[in-house]
Amino acid sequence: MLSQQKLIIFVASDSAGETGEAVVKAAATQFYPKVVEIRRIAFIQDSGAIELLIQAAKREHAIIVFTLVVPELREYLLVKARKHHIKTIDLMGNLLQTMEHSFGQEARHKPGMIHPLDEDYFKKVEAVEFAVKYDDGRDFTGILQADIVLVGVSRTSKTPLSMFLAHKTYKVANVPLVPEITPPDLLYTVNNKKIFGLTINPDKLNKIRSERLKMLGLPGNASYANLERISQELEFAQQIMSRIGCTVIDVTNKAVEETASVILERIG
């Protein structure tokens, strides 16, 4: 086996080539301190680009690692590489063929499909971080930046609803409504179409809060679960929601998914 200190690898792709480059980098670390020079050839769309790639690889005595998902381009590259005795590694072909056989259907063979998925993933992460930062009125400035603002008394599912919507890539801020605390003025200045008030049946809320107190090891007769206090809070919240002019959703016996569905339908 011949030993060399430097190896040139062309990473060819009909998309950005990031997947192929990541795999080659991971393999290259196993041969440190040998040098692997990676040259990415991205967005290959025709045979002309492959011809140029073959010429460059032959000139540099390089290996071609490729992630071509268009069958015609993949086959053309393999034929040309064999003709010029260039070593190739197909990172996608065998995997796609095996999956096609398992699913009993042909792959889409459409380049670049991973990038919208990546973009969606990072949007979700950003939205979740936003929901955590602006949860339960921790920072009222979130009202300005949010796609959706939730208001309501304690235990009306504001936080789980915020998280559910965040996984749909919506930035959500939620604001608790408590009679002793004046709501932020920002609630009356932003577009009320993005604000949703959550209300609930007093008896249902009484049961929810009583269970919450038990979980915390606190007495069930605390004012937090007192029916009269709950009615007072709900009345106060209703006054604020009416002043805002926002959509009000009764979450009594509604799952978080159901409430989210109503909100998403309203905001289009």
146 SS3 class: coil
Is 155 labelled as part of a ligand binding site? yes
What are the pLDDT digits (tens) for 66-95? 999 888 999 999 999 999 999 999 998 888
Is 210 labelled as part of a ligand binding site? no
The pair of structure tokens assigned to 191 is: 């577009």
Q: In this structure, what DSSP letter does residue 47 have?
A: H
Tell me what pLDDT residue 120 has.
79
Upper half-sphere CA count for residue 260 (Cβ side, 13 Å): 18
Q: CA 146, CA 193: separation in Å to the nearest integer?
A: 12
Is 231 labelled as part of a ligand binding site? no
pTM value is: 0.60
Is 67 labelled as part of a ligand binding site? no
Give the pLDDT band (50/70/90) at residue 112.
low
Check whether 189 has a pLDDT greater than 80: yes
Tell me what pLDDT residue 153 has.
97
Domains of the chain: 6-112 (3.40.50.2300), 116-267 (3.40.50)
- Strands of 172-176's sheet in order across: 172-176, 148-152, 195-199, 247-250
Check whether 34 has a pLDDT greater than 70: yes
Q: Which of 78, 76, 79, 73 is nearest to 110 (CA)?
A: 73
Q: How large is the average pLDDT for residues 23-30?
A: 92
Q: How large is the average pLDDT for residues 20-34?
A: 90
Of 1-15, 37-51, 87-101, least confident by mean pLDDT is 1-15
Q: Do 61 and 15 contact (CB within 8 A), yes or no?
A: no
Q: CA 68, CA 90: separation in Å to the nearest integer?
A: 8
Q: Which of 69, 147, 52 is nearest to 115 (CA)?
A: 69
Q: Which of 161, 131, 164 is nearest to 146 (CA)?
A: 131
The pair of structure tokens assigned to 4 is: 């060399």
**Torsion of the alpha carbons at 18, 19, 25 and 28, rounded to the nearest 10:** -140
Give the pLDDT band (50/70/90) at residue 116.
low
Beta pairing class for 6-13 and 63-67: parallel
Is 47 labelled as part of a ligand binding site? no
Check whether 110 has a pLDDT greater than 80: no
Q: In this structure, what DSSP letter does residue 255 have?
A: -
What are the pLDDT digits (tens) for 225-241? 999 999 999 999 999 99
Is 169 labelled as part of a ligand binding site? no
Q: Which amino acid is at 126?
A: E
The pair of structure tokens assigned to 49 is: 């680009």
